[in-house]
Amino acid sequence: MVTLTCCNCGCEFTRKSSSIPKSGRVFCSVVCNGISNRKRIISKCIVCNKLVERSISRMFRYLNKKTFCSKNCEGVWQSENQLYENAPGYKSGISVYRKLALSQYGAKCQSCGYCQDIRLIEVHHKNGDRSNNTIENLSVLCFWCHKCITRGVPIHSQHERANK
C-alpha cells in the first residue's frame, strides 16, 4: 500500500501501487475525481464583485454573458441598465407606457366602462407595435375587452360578462 495525496482536496489516503494511474493524478474518491474533471470558470459578479464559479456551458448559455452571484444582483443590474432606450416601454422595473395611458385616460375601460379593480385594467397598443408607446397608440381596456380585441373577437358588454 502506498500513501497518496488527493489532487482535488489534498487529503491523504492509501491505495495499492498497482491501481495508481500512469498520469499520476490520483483522487481519494469518485466525488473528488468528478469535481476535478469539471470544466469550470471562476469569474466576478458584475454587481458586488463576489467570486462565482460556473460551468462553461452555463457561462455561455445566456446571450449577455454576464455573471451574477444571485437573482438579487441580477435584478439590481437590470433595474440600473434596462433603460427606456434599450427596452421600449420599460424603465427601472416600471412599465412607462402603462403609467402614461392611465394618467391620460384614467383607470377605466374605454370599451365597456369597467373600473372596479385596477389589477384587471390593461393597456392596449392599437397598432400592435409594443415599441410605439405614443399616447395616440395606447388605449385603456379591461382584461376581457383586451383579450377580445387582441384575438379579433367581438366585444361583449359588461352586463353580459357579469351574468356569466
Q: Write down all domains in the chain, each with its CATH number in brackets.
A: 2-37 (no CATH), 40-81 (no CATH), 94-163 (1.10.30)
d(CA 126, CA 137): 5
Question: How does residue 62 score in pLDDT terms, banded at 50, 70 and 90?
Answer: low
Contact 36, 24 (CB under 8 A): no
156: which DSSP letter?
P
DSSP-assigned letters across all residues of 78-129? HHHH--TTTSTTEETTEEHHHHHHHHHH-SS-TTT---S-GGGEEEEETTS-
As a whole number, mean pLDDT of residues 60-72 equals 73
Does this model's pTM top 0.85? My answer is: no
Q: Is the pLDDT of residue 71 over 80?
A: yes
CA distance 65 to 63: 6
Q: What is the pLDDT of residue 164?
A: 46
DSSP 26-91: --SSHHHHHHHHS-EEEEE-TTT--EEEEEHHHHTTSSS----SSHHHHHHHHHHH--TTTSTTEE
Question: Is residue 91 over pLDDT 60?
Answer: no
